[in-house]
């Protein structure tokens, strides 16, 4: 039986390690239910993290540009995790979204799912008159793609097993972009990073952007606005 009901859960500001443990618990529970022939619950987690760097399973440690001692001095944690993608930064002013859902319930494959995450961000940017899009060969959402000024506004990295997903997207709204200077974001050395605040010249209403992003994502997942 299909279950396209989605629970929206706001964890507020939470340390990355704690969020990873809580995510993993929900992910493993959903897989267990599906493996036993039952219907998994679909959850979209919203949160912010204190300053942290994470690197995916295919990432290179060389893309971290500061030492372990400097990380400790700055009070920033660094996690190796199982999602796709390379290194990225999470911090205040960034919307982090972790959908823990069964893609088969929504008739989606993994590539379509990543496209859906990107599309939700692209549509949200458009509501603030920011023209965003995709960059061939580079997951995520970009401004001025395929130009010398191309810059990423949203990073995406997911993990899935039996079409159950975890991890997700990190959308820069009022993010302090200086923290990206300590890494090669997503493994790139020749592309920039941006935020809604940087594009529009002032801080944005974080709660309003979050509300619209989640609504766009839910509408896309449930087929209301694909």
Write down the catalytic residue from 47, 125, 154, 186: 186
What secondary structure letter does DSSP report for 126?
Answer: H
Active site residue 154: no
Alpha carbon separation from 184 to 55, 65, 83, 148, 177 (Å, rounded): 11, 7, 17, 17, 13
Instruction: For the chain, list the strands marked E by DSSP.
Output: 6-13, 42-48, 52-55, 77-80, 87-90, 94-100, 132-135, 138-143, 151-161, 164-172, 192-193
Would you say how long the chain is, in residues?
A: 226
Alpha carbon separation from 209 to 5, 83, 106, 195, 196 (Å, rounded): 22, 25, 24, 12, 10
Count of H-run helices and E-run strands, the chain: 5, 11
At residue 186, the 3 state secondary structure works out as helix
Cα torsion 196, 200, 203, 205: sign = negative
* Active site amino acids: 186
């Amino acid at each position: 039986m299909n279950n396209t009901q989605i629970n929206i859960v706001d964890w507020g500001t939470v340390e990355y390690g704690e969020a990873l443990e809580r995510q993993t618990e929900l992910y493993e529970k959903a897989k267990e239910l599906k493996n036993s022939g039952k219907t998994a619950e679909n959850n979209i987690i919203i949160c912010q993290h204190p300053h942290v760097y994470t690197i995916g399973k295919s990432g290179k440690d060389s893309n971290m540009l500061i030492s372990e001692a400097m990380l400790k001095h700055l009070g920033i944690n660094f996690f190796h995790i199982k999602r796709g993608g390379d290194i990225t930064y999470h911090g205040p002013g960034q919307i982090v979204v972790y959908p823990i859902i069964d893609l088969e319930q929504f008739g989606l494959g993994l590539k379509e799912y990543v496209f859906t995450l990107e599309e939700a961000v692209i549509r949200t940017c458009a509501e603030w008159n920011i023209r965003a899009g995709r960059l061939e060969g580079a997951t995520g959402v970009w401004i001025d793609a395929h130009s010398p000024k191309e810059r990423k506004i949203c990073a995406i990295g997911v993990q899935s097993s039996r079409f159950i997903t975890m991890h997700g997207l990190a959308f820069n709204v009022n993010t302090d972009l200086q923290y990206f200077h300590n890494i090669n974001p997503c493994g790139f050395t020749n592309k920039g990073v941006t935020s809604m605040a940087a594009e529009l010249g002032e801080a944005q209403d974080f709660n309003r952007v979050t509300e619209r992003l989640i609504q766009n994502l839910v509408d896309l997942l449930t087929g209301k606005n694909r």
